[in-house]
Structure 1
Amino acid sequence: MTTGFRVYRSNGTYINLTGYSNYGALYFGYTNNQGGGRRGPGSENFIVSSTSEMTLYGMGALRNDFVNFTPGYPSIRSMQDIEKEISKFIRYTGIFGNTIAYDGISECAAVCFAANPGAASDYVVTDWSKAPNSYIFTGKDRNGKDLDGLYIPVKKAYEMWSRGGEFMKDDNGNYTPIPSGTVTAGLYWEDEPGLIKSIALEGTGENAKIKVLVNRLKEGNAVVSYRVNDQVYWTWHVWVTDDPTVNGSTYRLGFEKDKNGLSVTDWKWMDRNLGATSANFLGNDWHKSQGLHYQWGRKDPFPAFGHKDGTMYEISGEIGNMRNQYAVYRTGSTSSLPVKYRGNLYPQDNTGYDTPSGNIRYSVQNPIHMIIPPLYVRKYNETVNNNGEDMFVQNSAKIWYHQRYTTWFSKQKYRNEFSTDASKNVAWDLWGDTRGGKISDLNNAQLAEESKRYAMKSPYDPCPCNWRVPSYYDNIGSHSNDNNASPWGRIGGVNDVDTFTSDPASS
C-alpha cells in the first residue's frame, strides 16, 4: 500500500499533488525494487497546483504487502511501524537529506531538517451540525461596539442534509443532500412588525451567509429561512433583546460534569425564557417575559400569540399573517397555527410519515406546523381498533383519560421498550439527554457517573451558541427511584413515573 501527498482546502476538499518520479513509476515514499533499491522520502518531486488556499497535512508512504525482493526487508509491515510513521509525518513536515540513517526509531533527528518542529496540522474538521439554530442580537458585539445586524452561515443546513445523523436520513436510510437550484433567504416570520429591516444572501452554495439587518429600536423574535427551489431546508431563530446572559442564576446541584467527566464550574441559567424580551415579572414590560413555545425535540420556536397580561399579537412574513385563535379575525389572517397529524390517516392534514426521520425532516421543512398524533375516541365497553395510536378512553366511572402510545414524531413511544421492566425503557433522544434516553439514578452505582455527566448539545437544540437545553430523562419505571438528577432540583413524586397509559380509576 502506498500513499502520497494531498493538499486540503479549508472546506475539507482536497486535490492530489501532481508530480514526477526520479525512478519511473510515481510512488511517494517507501517501496521496494524501485531504481535498484528501497526508495525513501525525497524520491519524488512535487508541484502544487489548482488551489489558492491549502494546508499541507502530511506526507510519506506506507508499504504493507509487497513481494520480498530483498531478504533484509519483511514483506508484511507491523502495525506499530505503520503507526509510528504516520505519527512522524503528521507531526511535522521534514526535509530529508541523502542518508541511510533512518532506522524506524530515531525520527531522523540527525539528518532530517524540520521545516516547522512540533507543528500540527491546521486542517481541523468542523462539525457544522453543532452550529446553533438561534442567534441572540443585542445590538452590540462582545466589545460593546454597535452592530446593525448579523450573519448566519448556511453551512449547517448542508451538513445536516448530507450527514446530520439518523433522523436526517429518509425512510430508506439514505441522506438526500440539498440540491442545486434557485437559492433564496427570507423572513419566515417576525412577531414585531419592522423588526427585521432586510435579509440578503451573500456568497454561494454551502459557504453562503445570510445577512440580517435589524431595527435596533425594536425588540422581538424572527425566524429566517433558507430555501432552494422554494423549498425550506433550514430556518434560524433571531432573538432581538437585551443581553439575557448577564443576570442569570448560577444555582446548580453541584455534581454536574461535562462530557469528559470533569466538574462543571461555570454553570449558569439565562435570566429569562427563550424568546422573552424582558426578564422582569414586575414593572415595565413585565408582560413580555413569557417567551416562545417549543414542541419537545424540535429546533424551531412557535409564537405564543399572547403576552402575560392577556394582550395578543400576530406574526407575519413568508407564512402570511397568523393570529391567536381567540383574536378578532382580520382579512388575510389565519385563526391559528396550522396543525398536522403524524402519519397518513387524514388527507390534506397529515405529515405522511410515521417514522422519526420522516417527521423530523418534515418539521425542518415546515417549522410553523404543529405536529400531533392521531387520536381515537373509545367510549366505555366500546371496541375500537385504534391502529396502535393514542386513545381518549372512558372508564366504568365515566371518566375520560388519555392513553398515550405514541409521540408527535413516531408511532413508537420509546426507542426500545421492555414490557416486563419499564425501568429499562429507552426514550427517544432529540435534545441531548444525559444518558441518551436511558434512566438516570444518582443512587445507583452503575448509573450515577453517567447520570451526572452532560452529553453533547443536540443538533436540534433551540438554544443560542454557548447555551443548551438542560435535558435529562429520569425515573420512567419506578415510584421508588427518586428524580434526583433533575437540573431543577426536584426530588421524588409519583408524577415522575410514566403512567400515561394507566386507568385513573385504578392507578
Structure 2
Amino acid sequence: MKRHFLWCLCILSICIAGCSKDNPEPAPDPELTLAPDAPIAFTAAGGSVVVTVTTNMESWSAQSDQTWCTIETAQNKLTVKAAANESYEAMPEATVTVTASTGSNSISKQLQVTQAAAEKSYTDLSKGKGTSNCYLITEAGYYSFDATVRGNGAATEGLDAPTAVAGTSAEIVWQSSANLISEVELVDGRIRFHISGTGNAVIAAIDGAIQWSWHIWYPETEVTALHAKSGYEVMNMNLGAMTDKIGDAKSYGMLYQWGRKDPFPAAATTTGTTETVGATIYDGSNKEVTIRNSSWYETSDNTLEYAIANPTICISNMSQFSTSRDWLQAGRSNDALWGNPHGDGKDDGNNLSNKGAKSFYDPCPAGWRVPPADVFLHLTASGGYAWVISDFNIYDVSGDGTLSLDDYNCGWVFNLDDNTTSYFPAAARFDGSYAMLMGSVSGLWGSYWSNAPFPGLMFEGGAYSVLSFQVKDQNGNEMITTSPFGGGGRADAYSVRCIRE
C-alpha cells in the first residue's frame, strides 16, 4: 500500500512539472517613468536638465532627433543638454525618445525640448555723435535710433527748435536693393531694424501719414575726411555714394532739392540721356518704388508739410517758374532750411563771411553738414567760372603732363590741396521744373549744393552751388565749363559733398 502511494505521488509531480513548462508565469507589464516628464524649455544661454529614469525593464536607451539637443546617459540618469544659441531664431523643436526593454518587450516615452532665440542686440546709432537725418552704417547687423527727434533737433537762426516726432509705427519707404532692410519696428520711441549689406534706404515713422523719415547709408568704401585748401575737412565721396572710385556709377550718390533732407537716387549707369531715370528702388515688400513729381500746373503741394510727408516726390516749380525757382510756394521761400540764412553775406574783403550751423533739415550724417558756399573757390584759377581746362585745378589722371579731356571720366579729380585729390562725379540733377532726372545727362554734368541762399536778383528761390561743371550740352556738343561758385534753382536736385562740423 505504501509503495502504491509513492508511485502515485511521483506521477502527480511529473504532471505538475509538465503543466508548469507549458504555462509559464506571464512577464510583468513594462513600466517606464521620467522625472521630470514635462517639456524642457532652454533659454538662448542653453544649459542642462537631469531626468531620472525608472523602469522594470532590463535596459534603457535614449536618442535626440536634433543635433543641437544632446544627451548623456548614466545608470538611471538622463542628461539633456543645449549649447548657447547665438542665432536670432529659435531652434527647431527636438524630441528625446527614451526606450526601455527586456528582450522583445519594450516601452517608450518622449520629451519635447525647445530653445529660445538669442536676444537681439541693437547698436544705438543716435548715441555718441547724436541724432541726424542720415545714419552711416559700417557693417551689417541690428540697429536702432531715437525716432522722436527731427534731424539733430537743433534750433538755428530762422528755425525754431523742432517738435518731437510722434509716430505709432515704422516702415521702409524705399531701399536700394530687395531685402536690404528688414524687421523694422517702432518700440518706445525708437526705430529698430536689420540691414543685410551695403546700400541706401529711407525709413519713416508713421502715424497715418509719414511724420519724419531718415536716410540709412551703408557704403562699400570707408567714409573719411580730406583736407581742403579752404580749410574745410571734406568728405571723400558724395553723400549716399557707395564708393569714391573714378568712373563708377556707384560714386554718384544721392540727389537733393535744396533745403530738403530726403534723397533721390541718381542714375544707375555712368552715362545716360535726357530720358535717363534714377536707379531702381524697392519698398518693404520688395516692389519697385517710383520717384514721382508733384503737379506741374499748381502749387498746393509746394509746402514743407507735404515734402516731409512725401519723401519720394520731387516737388516741381513749373507753374511758378517765372517768379520763383524754389520748390516751396512763391513768397514762402525759407533761406534758413540748411542752417545758413545769411550765407551770401560778405565781409569788407568781399569774402563770404557766414558759415552757418547744421539745421534739423540738414541731410548729412552726424558730425557732418552741408558746406558753406566758399568751400571750393580754389578749384578754378579765378574762383569763378572757367571755360579753359588749363584753368581747372584738376589732377593729371592720364599722366601725360597736360590737362585735357583725357583726364575726365564721368567727372573730374580735383586737387583739394597740394597733396590731396578727390573725385567729383557727374551725377547730373533732377530738373526743378519737370521734377525728374530728365533734363540733364548723367556722366556729363555735375552740380553740388552749398547751405547758402543765392541773392534774389531776377527770381526768388535761388541757392549757391559750390561746384558745377559740364563737358557737353544736351545735344552732345562740346561745352566745357567749371565753376566753384554759382547759383541754381532750389527745386533742382543736386549732389551734396558734406564737410566736418
Asked if Structure 1 and Structure 2 have the same fold, meaning a TM-score greater than 0.5 normalized by the shorter chain, the answer is no
More strand by percentage: 2
TM interval, shorter chain, is: 0.3 to 0.5
**Structure of greater relative contact order (alpha carbons < 8 Å, 6+ residues apart):** 2
TM-score normalised by structure 2 residue count? 0.45
**TM-score, structure 1 as length reference:** 0.44
Q: Give the structure with higher Rg (CA).
A: 2
